[in-house]
Amino acid sequence: MDSSAENSKETSKRASLSSLPLPASQANASKYAAYLKAMVSKDHSDIPMILCCLVSGLCDSSSYNAWSCFVSMQTGNTIFLALGAANLPVGHPYGWAKSLISIVAFNLGCKLFATVFKTLDRRHLSLSFAFQATCIFIAAILVQTNVVPPARVDSAGHIADVNFLELIPLIFLAFQSGGQIVTSRLLGLNEIPTTVLTSVYCDLVSDPNILKKDNVKRDRRAGSVVFLLVGGLAGGWISRTAGLSVVFWIAGGIKAVLAVAWLFWKENETLA
């Protein structure tokens, strides 16, 4: 009887303790965790994706000018890889290897981001873009510190020597590019692939409602074209006047700003 009474008292004590309010610090931590896990609204989510087109333009124009390889547009790299079988283009030895590495890194990035950052909550989106920004910053540091020296070309425009250190920033840049296209797919923004424009051009001009006043998809496609073009123009100009690393610092900065922006993105109230 005594044992039963003691057990009953202990159970009552635990129940009363569990009903007590959490300390302020624990309550705030729990509230903040719930805030980070909240699913974001897709309203205006096309803006970050169009800014990713700007980043692609910056990185692709600069990397191609410096290393004759794309880090976002893998269609071009696939063609370069095929040309390598015929030792083309002339004067660009092992260009096929750069393209192959970029393709592999891009696909690994797609796989990782699709596996790890697969939900549209504030936490995952912010971490995803912070990771992407970090990859670009690493490439910027490698270039700025001359760990990866500029490519040397002769008077004919041919690469004078092969420097396999160029593969390191290419890996980081191509890897992070996979993250942004995965995000565009998760958001359902297939009209903004962020890395390539071939399908965008087709869908844009074949849209029967292209001249309609209110056409969101047309506006998104046009925006992606314009921002990728502007990024390419800016990347080439900045590379020539300020240096390659500056382009990467700017591109990484854009991704970092987006990482912060996702933390304050409006919650999807239908899922709240």
- CATH number of the domain enclosing 232: 1.20.1250
pLDDT of 102 reads 97
Q: Is residue 32 part of a domain?
A: no
Would you mind telling me the total number of residues written for the chain in this entry? 272
Please compute the mean of the pLDDT values over residues 122-141 and round it to a whole number: 98
pLDDT for 101: 96
Neighbouring residues of 130: CB distance < 8 A, sequence distance ≥ 6: 255, 256, 259
- pLDDT of amino acid 162: 67
Two tokens, residue 239: 């590379």
For 32-49, write each residue's pLDDT tens digit. Answer: 888 999 999 999 999 999
* 41 located within any domain: no
Asked if the structure places residue 43 within a domain, the reply is: no
Q: Over the range 19-47, which residues count as b (16 or more CB within 10 Å of their CB) and which as e?
A: eeeeeeeeeeeeeeeeeeebbbeeeebbe
95, pLDDT greater than 90: no
Residue 84: CA atoms inside 13 Å, Cβ hemisphere, count?
Answer: 17
Residue 56 banded pLDDT, cuts 50, 70, 90: very high
Q: How confident is the model at residue 245 (pLDDT cuts 50, 70, 90)?
A: very high
Q: Would 96 be classed as within a structural domain?
A: yes
In a domain, 224, yes or no: yes
Q: How much is the pLDDT for 58?
A: 98
- Surface-to-core class of residue 270, CB atoms within 10 Å of its CB (0-12 exposed, 13-18 middle, 19+ buried): exposed
The whole-number average pLDDT for the span 45-56 is 98
Asked whether the predicted pLDDT for residue 159 surpasses 70, the reply is: no
- At 69 the pLDDT is 94
The reported pLDDT for the residue numbered 149 is 81
For residues 131 and 176, the answer to whether their CB atoms sit within 8 Å is yes
In the predicted model, what is the mean pLDDT of residues 139-168?
77
With CA atoms as reference, report the closest residue to 173 among 47, 46, 73: 73
Cβ pair 268, 40 in contact under 8 A: yes
Domain count, the chain: 1
46 within some domain: no
What's the whole-number mean pLDDT along residues 65-71? 94
What would the two tokens of residue 173 be?
Answer: 């840049």
Domain presence at residue 116:
yes
Judging by beta carbons within 10 Å of its beta carbon (0-12, 13-18, 19+), is residue 188 exposed, middle or buried?
exposed
**Domain range enclosing 157:** 51-265
8 is a domain residue: no
Helix (H, G, I), strand (E, B) or coil at 134: helix
pLDDT at 20 > cutoff 90: no
More confidently predicted of 107 and 31: 107
- Give CA separation, 97 vs 57, 83, 181, in Å: 22, 11, 23
Q: Is 14 exposed, middle or buried (0-12, 13-18, 19+ CB in 10 A)?
A: exposed
Q: For residue 111, give both structure tokens.
A: 């796989």
- Say how far residue 229 (Cα) sits from the centre of its chain: 18
Whether the predicted pLDDT of 92 surpasses 80: no
Summary mean pLDDT of the chain: 89
